[in-house]
Amino acid sequence: MQQLKEQQDDNVFILLENTRCSSGHRASLLFERPEYEVICYRNDALQGALRELDELRGQGYYVCGYLAYEAGYALADKPDFKFCKRAHSDTPLMHFYAFRDVRRLSQHQASRFLEAHTHDTTPAALRHLTLNARREEYLDNIDKIKSYIREGDTYQVNYTLKYRFEYQGAPIALYRKLRSRQKVEFGGLLNFPEYSVLSLSPELFLRKQGTALESKPMKGTFPRGASVEEDTDILDTMRHDMKTRSENVMIVDLLRNDVSRVASPGSVAVKNLFEIQTFETLHQMISTVTGRIAPDARIEHIFRELFPCGSITGAPKIRTMQIIEELEREPRGVYTGAIGYLTPNNDFCFNVPIRTCIAYANGHAEMGIGGGVLHESDPEAEYAECLLKARFLSGLNQDLQLFETMRYSNAEARIEHLENHLQRLTRSAHDLHFAFEGPRVRHALDEAIDGLGHDTRVRLSLAHDGQFDIVTTPLGPESEAPSAAQLGMSTHIIDQHAFLLHYKTSARDVYDSEYRRHQEQGDYDVAFLNREGRVTEASRHNLFIEKDGMLLTPPLDEGVLPGIARETLIAASCERCCERPITPRDLLDADAIWLTNAVRGVVPVMLSEQAIHTLTAWVGQEATYAVSH
């Protein structure tokens, strides 16, 4: 237990919320300004750390945080668990904070709180969503599990994989976007110093109110239908599907036995067996197990007997956890552990963290997915169910569009650099998880340019689901750049680490608003600086400067789109062209400045008076900083 100094963790907060209730109901709990931290990495220290939670609760604190799934191995304390033989883990087995107070918020108030704490305006997005195991490995492991079932080692195994991905924007922004797409009863955001936990879980592990104890295991998942009629048919199938019912009954029986270890004799009951709850992307079968418990029951004892939840292990629990440890590639961490809180009067509530991400401060994140495997399970169907459960995450970019703006040359009767444009679009669609059918798009482009008798701007827009649109606009003299084009300079600083800058997407509000503002001032385009104070690009063009006979352009990692005209000019001028960072002083001292894009080609520009003033002021700030340091 560590007592925190004043202001030491001022940015730490935990928001636990129910977004399925009515918007005016104060069902969200906000914990701020922690006074103590309890974090444990060692197996042999875990039970002592759990006792510290009880001590803090007894001193009048609200204690809130999580247990990692691997804490279950330490609590079971079986010598044949490999995990228990390790002296130290790289990630916490548990991480809690103690708070003096809790605030109850409505959904509206919670939304306003999150908005106020989203200081980074970079839009939330993800890319490079990758599973930690290949499909073939997954299917092989399902076969191994079914072999264990045939041999009588287990009845059901909850086998999981892990997605890794990169995200941009603050973790709070990522959570806001996820929560807007998935209404759940046991969601939450744990905003910790080095990482954040984003949970969109619909599953209750344990809730204690007075002497009442409740658990709601979830087993059985079906996708939503495309219509009310399809949904009705799916629900009917789900109610009568023997695999789904068997899976649910096994886990309910396991939870009933677990709860009976801590509940008063004869008090354990099952309610609402095979209840189905419907969420935005899927239907889930849920049952309820209840019991009576002593009001002063200690959390250490309860977790030692019940943790982890049987719905995410399988049955029988201990042997199945051994199989999980053998087959899964890496520790689950907070995924399928428990997130929740204890109150000073010894009530508590913990979820099962499914549909839960860990977002690290370096822009990398991970999320576990999995499902229960029975003797009758179809390996391919189980794999499809895993992918279904990640749909709410893989669809995070669905409000984006990708686009390519191309030039049709009437003289050559073709779209210039078409292959380059399609290669870039293919790469972007893959990275950002867009559906994309290249041959169909190519055929549609051929039809769009058929019969054109003039130079034309061709804009191809691609939606997340693979639908696309093509718009052609004639290019007349008014479309060409003016002979004395001016370049303005934005005072809006660009985050060069925002990876959407490397893709041609619809997430360009800042670029569009700055472009409109500078056009009203008579500028042809407007350029930007990044957080390092270096030049990146213009809103609709890449940027080159000429200095001492050399062409210089910012590298892509400065926050630059890999433009087609940029790529072409670099290839054509390889001996006199160099990618290197460009400072405000470089731009002011340039012999010439050129802008490039695929429609207008290479456009010479001059700095506007506003741009010269802005860049000069920036150079002055840099000089002052250098002198003071």
Distance CA 460, CA 469 (A): 6
Instruction: Judge contact between 243 and 283, C-beta under 8 A.
Output: no
Nearest to 199 by CA among 214, 179, 170: 179
- State the DSSP string of 91-117: S-SEEEEEES--EEE-HHHHHHHHHHT
What sign does the dihedral 449-452-454-456 (CA atoms) show?
Answer: negative
Q: Is 203 a catalytic residue?
A: yes
Point out the catalytic residue in the list 219, 317, 389, 504: 219
Closest CA to 292 of 416, 209, 202, 388: 209
Look up residue 291 and give its two tokens. 């019991």
Residue 620 CB coordination number (10 Å): 11
Candidates 514, 540, 558; CA nearest to 601 is: 540
Cis peptide before 439 (omega within 30 of 0): no
Instruction: Using CA atoms of 53, 55, 61, 62 in order, give the dihedral in degrees to the nearest 10.
Output: 30
Active-site residue flag, 214: no
**Strand spans (E) along 238-344:** 269-278, 282-292, 314-315, 338-342
Q: Order of strands across the sheet with 601-607? A: 535-538, 525-530, 485-494, 601-607, 592-597, 542-547, 550-553, 577-579
Q: β-strands 485-494, 601-607: how paired?
A: parallel
Diameter over CA atoms, the chain: 89
Beta carbons within 8 Å of 14's beta carbon, 6+ residues apart: 30, 31, 64, 65, 97, 188, 189, 190, 191, 341
The residue from 70, 203, 385, 416 that is catalytic is 203
Q: Nearest 5°: phi and psi at 312?
A: -115, 10
108 CB burial (10 A radius; 0-12, 13-18, 19+): exposed
User: Which single residue is written with the structure tokens 């470089």?
Assistant: 586
Query: CA 97, CA 95: separation in Å to the nearest integer?
Result: 7
Q: Are 298 and 327 in contact (CB under 8 A)?
A: no
Q: Which residues are catalytic?
A: 203, 219
